[in-house]
Amino acid sequence: MKKLFAFRYVSLHLFATLFCLAMIFSALPYQNETAHSVYVSIAVASGLLLACLWGGGTIVRSKGLKKGRRADDFSSVVAKKIVLYYWLMIVLFIVVLPFYVMLVVSLEDSKSASIISFRWWPGKLHFENFITVLTDKALRITVWEALFNTLWVSTWPSLVCVFISSLSAYSFSKLKFKGKNALFAVLIMTMMVPGCVTLSASYMWFDRLGWLHTFMPLIVPSLFGGASVVFFLREYYSGIPDDLLGSAKIDGLGKFGIFFVIILPLSVPAFVAQLVLTFVSRFNDYMGPLIYCDRSYLYTLTKMLNILRSGNEDITYIAGTCVVSILPLLILYACLQKVILSGISMSSGLKA
């Protein structure tokens, strides 16, 4: 009886998937009547089956089995596991699919890919697309130069950004000065300003400063630190006990000494997490390069992809460029996943 219930549990989920798929397919416009009627009948049949299984099982259970103990026996635990991993596999498939498609298309033959429809596996692997991507100068700039540009506007500016922010956060949380609360309120307000309002005005302002078509608009604003980083690090620093700083002061450390000797080493995880997150967001910045860097020698990777959006180029070339452009961050993420994941959870105010 218990095995039967476990079986019912698994098949309920399987039929639910079938039912959903069949419903979607029968709702879509069809090429011929037979296919449509097949989907409709599958939907009806699986729907009926679903109702019978669910309703019947519930009736039997309410008569026979006791409610409290059903989770304990072996077969129901196995059934729960099967269902859980079944759904996880489906989600895994959905998450991986675009990356898989990107990879497969980039390995297709560049001549035939745009003629034939999608194949789950290319007949023959064509790695020469990647050679084309890596050496091609169709956009008057190679991927390498674009990668270098991207790294130039994202590595050291984000390092400076997080460093300045941590200094500011240190001052906000541990040092005394007048007007602290007012200044902090202003800082919080800066996070509220939507970016869209300054979009065209920033363009004109940078034009006035003579910074258009240089990297200055991407680099200089981040050299002043970021409000959200300050906000986060301030929370983190307030967890460092004041007694520790007091004893360091007695031992003769100045306020910068305390910062470098005590605060920074104690907050390495938070610092690195914020650094990586800032770096990722600067690396993937879309609007900045799009508006301010409209010269081919200034193209970053996102700007390059932006140029490819019209879809006039060869599709294998586009897919190859996508693969190449996401690889650096994928490698970084694979190496630093713990830092990134805990940093993300921390910055939303959760304990990781």
Partner 1 sequence: MANIRRKDFCDQSVNFLIAAIPVIGFVLFGLIPMGISLLVSFTSVKQSFITEKIVLIGFKNYGRLFQDRLFWKSFGNTLLYTLNVPFSLGFGLIVAYLVNSASKGQKFFRFVFFIPYVCSTAAIALSWKIMYNYEYGIFNAVLNDLDLKAVGWITNPNVFMFSTMLMTIWASSGICIILYQAALANINPSYLEAAQIDGAGEITVFFRIVFPAISPTTFYLLTMKLIGSLQVMAETQMLSGDSTSLNWADSTVVNYLYRMGFIDPIYYGQSIASAAGWILSIIIILITWLNFRLGKKWVNYDMA
**Interactions with partner 1, residue window 291-310 (CB under 8 A):** 291, 301-302, 305-306, 308-310
Residue 26 identity (one-letter amino acid): S
Closer Cβ to partner 1, 50 or 165, answer by number: 165
| Residues in the chain, overall count | 352
154 binds partner 1 (CB under 8 A): no
138 binds partner 1 (CB under 8 A): no
144 binds partner 1 (CB under 8 A): no
Q: Which residue in 20, 59, 65, 84 binds partner 1 (CB under 8 A)?
A: 84
Q: Which residue in 66, 69, 124, 176 binds partner 1 (CB under 8 A)?
A: 176
* Residue given tokens 């679903």 in the structure block: 50
> In a 10 Å sphere around its CB, with 0-12 CB exposed, 13-18 middle and 19+ buried, how is residue 91 labelled?
exposed
Binding segment for partner 1 (CB under 8 A), chosen from 57-65, 238-246, 267-275, 318-326, is 318-326
- Please state the closest distance from residue 83 (CB atom) to partner 1, in A: 10
Measure the CA–CA gap between 262 and 233, rounded to whole angstroms.
Answer: 14
Measure the CA–CA gap between 174 and 162, rounded to whole angstroms.
Answer: 18
The closest of 318, 319, 316 to 111, measured between CA atoms, is 316
**Distance of CA 53 to CAs 14, 17, 57, 87, 287, Å?**
12, 14, 6, 19, 53
Measure the CA–CA gap between 293 and 280, rounded to whole angstroms.
Answer: 19
- Please state the closest distance from residue 9 (CB atom) to partner 1, in A: 13
Q: Which residue in 255, 262, 272, 296 binds partner 1 (CB under 8 A)?
A: 255
Residue 162 identity (one-letter amino acid): V
Residue 127 identity (one-letter amino acid): F
- Please state the closest distance from residue 213 (CB atom) to partner 1, in A: 14
167 binds partner 1 (CB under 8 A): yes
280 binds partner 1 (CB under 8 A): yes
> In a 10 Å sphere around its CB, with 0-12 CB exposed, 13-18 middle and 19+ buried, how is residue 339 labelled?
middle
Q: Which residue in 63, 69, 177, 265 binds partner 1 (CB under 8 A)?
A: 177
Q: Which residue in 64, 118, 121, 241 binds partner 1 (CB under 8 A)?
A: 118
* Residue given tokens 């079944």 in the structure block: 86
252 binds partner 1 (CB under 8 A): no
Count of residues of this chain found to bind partner 1 when the rule CB under 8 A is applied: 109
261 binds partner 1 (CB under 8 A): no
Measure the CA–CA gap between 242 and 170, rounded to whole angstroms.
Answer: 12
**Distance of CA 102 to CAs 7, 115, 119, 168, Å?**
38, 17, 12, 43
- Please state the closest distance from residue 204 (CB atom) to partner 1, in A: 5
Site for partner 1 in 42-71 (CB under 8 A): 67-68
Binding segment for partner 1 (CB under 8 A), chosen from 56-64, 110-118, 126-134, 151-159, is 110-118
88 binds partner 1 (CB under 8 A): yes
